[in-house]
Amino acid sequence: MGSAYVVGTFDTKGDELRYVAELIRETGVTVRTVDLATGDPATGGEAAGAAPSGVDVPAREVAAWHPDGPDAVFTGDRGSAVAAMTEAFARFLPAQRDLDGVVGLGGSGGTALVTPALQALPVGVPKFMVSTMAAGDVGAYVGASDIAMLHSVTDVAGLNRISRRVLGNAAHALAGACAHPVPAGDTRPAVGLTMFGVTTPCVDAVAHRLGDTYDCLVFHATGTGGAAMEKLADDGHLAGVLDISTTEICDLVAGGVLAAGEDRLDAIARTRIPYVGSCGALDMVNFGAPDTVPDRYSDRLFYPHNPQITLMRTTADEVRAIGEFLARKLNACDGPVRFLLPEGGVSALDAPGQAFHDPDVDAVLFDTLEREVRQTGNRRLIRSPHHLNDPEFADELVAAFTDATNPTSAQSTNAARS
């Protein structure tokens, strides 16, 4: 059994951090306390980073993980010191082999200091952050990880009748997670699939067809969904990806609210895992309620998905940009890649009689991909006459994935072409 790490700035949050550490120890779980204080800005230098009472890892030991050494952290300037400690801690924490779980405490500054390191830990490692910021938008703090944010209610500034209960809950939650780890419970290799409401029939069909062989992990393509899937790929949890719903790229290109980052698909290139992709929901950009749609789009075609979500049909210029983005990313992938083009339509709304049906715009997308993707024996585009939600298209996706996961398929294709 390893240790529960209790982390924070002991110069300002020492009483609270020690309280949490003691509660965890009382459960029988080993604790390791880590100081992230950057020292008195008026002092700085060698005097900063000394270990306060009861701390197992002094701040100077963490700061030594900065690429430029501890002096890059203890600069005497609070802003640069905190930024440098954030970088050092993000390197230090994932390298700890005895880490079973971690809890951090802090206000806005402490939360920004601690959470990048928590994000760097693998999904499944227990990670808690007690924060004054947890009642607002926590997307920047959580990212694609599984950090549990717990609102401190009162400021993390002393022990009182409220903070003792809140901090105690965090301490016992981490102690329980460390003492009773949950096994994966599945020996099948895992594959990631991306889904949107308008691509659900396709993804369900593919998951059903693969379910006997693979543990199918479905991710909602809402920006964070694609990022979470790619984090699992980077962490080595996925044996392959069926990126059926690449719709997050629409919002990136057109300024929607469910955008993927510019690094979408980069994990596929880094890991070289088998990848089968398609054009799921590339016909739509997501906004909030109708009054949130930017004025520049007032003349566009919209569909009210629900009172909180308004969908906008992509144009030929937008799908051309989407195709160029996808092609650039796919061309960087040296692993097995199969990308399928469903000529019958890319979503439930892009079908005959439906609001977004526009074969001419779809053709621009497909032609752009065919023109821009550099096809090889291991990187292929496959045109299909079917609609994305047709059962036959699900069969084609599964066949492409089987082909991509066959190590001899690319060699056989290259031999046949030569």
- Per-residue pLDDT of 113-129, as tens digits, reads 999 999 999 999 999 99
What's the mean per-residue pLDDT of the chain? Answer: 93
To the nearest whole percent, how much of the chain has pLDDT over 90?
A: 86
- 73 touches 81 (CB < 8 A): yes
Residues in Cβ contact with 407 at an 8 Å cutoff, skipping those fewer than 6 apart: none
Cα→Cα distances 241→95, 328, 401, Å: 27, 18, 9
Mean pLDDT score, 391-404: 98
In eight-state DSSP terms, residue 57 is B
Mean pLDDT score, 181-194: 90
Strands 309-313 and 302-306: antiparallel
pLDDT digits (tens, 9 = 90+) for 127-180: 999 999 998 889 899 998 999 999 999 999 899 999 999 999 999 999 999 999
Confidence of residue 186 (pLDDT cuts 50, 70, 90): confident
Question: What are the chain's domains?
Answer: 3-179 (3.40.50.12020), 190-408 (3.40.50.12030)
Residues in Cβ contact with 371 at an 8 Å cutoff, skipping those fewer than 6 apart: none
In the chain the first and final C-alpha atoms are separated, in Å, by: 56
Cα(164)–Cα(158) distance, integer angstroms: 9
Confidence of residue 39 (pLDDT cuts 50, 70, 90): confident
Confidence of residue 411 (pLDDT cuts 50, 70, 90): very low
pLDDT of residue 413: 43
Residues in Cβ contact with 272 at an 8 Å cutoff, skipping those fewer than 6 apart: 333, 334, 335
Radius of gyration over every alpha carbon of the chain, rounded to an integer in angstroms: 25
SS3 label, residue 97: coil
pLDDT of residue 412: 43
Q: Of residues 144 and 385, which shows the higher confidence score? A: 385
Tokens of 403: 């082909």
Mean pLDDT score, 399-403: 98
Cα(144)–Cα(278) distance, integer angstroms: 22
Mean pLDDT score, 184-204: 94
Confidence of residue 326 (pLDDT cuts 50, 70, 90): very high
pLDDT of residue 260: 86
Confidence of residue 51 (pLDDT cuts 50, 70, 90): low
pLDDT digits (tens, 9 = 90+) for 287-313: 999 999 999 999 999 999 889 999 999
